Amino acid sequence: MLQYFMPTRVIMGEDSIKKNPSVFSEMGKKALIVTGKSSAKKNGSLDDVIEVLSKNGQSWSIYDKVMSNPTVECVYEGASHARAEEVDYVIGIGGGSPMDAAKAIAMLACQDITEDQLFSGNYGKEVLPMIFVPTTAGTGSEVTSASVLTHHKQKTKIGISSPVLFPDVAFLDAKYMDDLPRDVTVNTVIDALSHSVEGMLSVRANPLTDALASVSIRMIASCFEALKKFDLSRKDRENLLYASTLAGMVISSTGTVAVHAMGYSLTYFKNMDHGRANGVLLAEFLRFIEEHLPDKVEQILSYMGMKNVDEFKDLLDELLGLKEEITLDEINMYTEITMPKHNIKNTIVEPKKEDIFNIYKSSLC
């Protein structure tokens, strides 16, 4: 049975925030702006939001303590801030970290959920309305129902997911990405590519999600040469943002697979950016899938204009540069952490423990 649900209203185009002030006024009188310390202030997105709120006669409070890979502690603090400020809705501005944090904050501000219950999947329907403004082309969090948080007690990243976590509105404006540095641009693009590729290799994939993934992969591939030279036009940025949102629409239905489960340990223990962690694993993961489903991998590679996995791996090596190294002891530990994660069973060819070990080893040793 084919199902697809993505209730977020997406508004695209330059100055889309300024051109749609009524979207903000309809949400309530006071907003909580959730963001990081600097990027939203530098790229103009925060200024645009505040300008609209001011003209609307709305008030706001800013919670800007979100770090990369936000923690459980961070979102509980943000929720406490939201309650204290008596806000009516949440505006998430930034990359995946502020948006993921904003979702959890919007829910925790309305529901009494203890830390022990946070990852149970049992949530009420109460949540603050959300408007999201992505400022990277990577996570697609603006159109998903998932929030991924760092959980120090389990020494990994864990996702919470519920239909109530879908944002109400997402504004896509590529101008906020004009000055993104190379490493952020590359890592987030690879994250988006990984979402679409993994979506096609999920047990929950269907013709609709595959269609969205194919467009996303092709659009990202059309920018490969510009990414290698790091000479991106505004149109390239727009295409990458669009492709990232499409990829988010894919995983909002399919979920992610083993690559994400494996990448979480690299992010937690090696402080590796999330998109980079996916990227260093993705080629060898495709090689593993190819052993069982060669036609599927050939199809994915064809969307990128590539003939084989080696060609794809060469591209990733060029974009990512010198890779981090890990020891066999570290691989054993990461494998043990990875195996229980739900992403493993969500993979179209469920990898065994030795398969996970070998993908890590081939990718990073």
pLDDT digits (tens, 9 = 90+) for 89-102: 999 999 999 999 99
Sign of the CA dihedral with 251 first, then 255, 259, and 265 last: positive
User: Is the residue at 158 inside a domain?
Assistant: yes
- The candidate with the shortest Cα–Cα distance to 275, out of 198, 337, 206, is 198
pTM, whole model, 2 decimals?
0.95
Q: What is the DSSP letter of 128?
A: -
pLDDT digits (tens, 9 = 90+) for 259-314: 999 999 999 999 999 999 999 999 999 999 999 999 999 999 999 999 999 999 99
Residues 292 and 234 in one domain: yes
Residues 318 and 345 in one domain: yes
Find how far residue 343's CA is from the centre of its chain: 15
**Which among 159, 176, 193 is the end of a domain?**
176
Counting beta carbons within 10 angstroms of the beta carbon of residue 270, is it exposed (0 to 12), middle (13 to 18) or buried (19 or more)? middle
Residues 143 and 198 in one domain: no
**Which among 176, 194, 225 is the end of a domain?**
176
In the chain, the number of structural domains is 2
Lowest average pLDDT, out of 150-159, 160-169, 176-185, 186-195, goes to 150-159
Residues 340 and 359 in one domain: yes
Query: What is the rounded end-to-end Cα distance, in angstroms, of the chain?
Result: 42
Q: Which domain holds residue 33?
A: 9-176
**pLDDT bucket at 154, cuts 50 / 70 / 90:** confident
- Complete DSSP assignment for 39-87: HHHHSSHHHHHHHHHHHHT-EEEEE--PPSS-BHHHHHHHHHHHHHHT-
Secondary structure of residue 168 in the 3-state scheme: coil
Tell me what pLDDT residue 365 has.
85
Residues 251 and 333 in one domain: yes
CATH label of the domain that carries residue 110:
3.40.50.1970
pLDDT digits (tens, 9 = 90+) for 29-63: 999 999 998 777 889 999 999 999 999 999 999 99
Residues 155 and 273 in one domain: no
- Say if residue 132's pLDDT is above 80: yes
Which residue bears the tokens 């590359």?
186
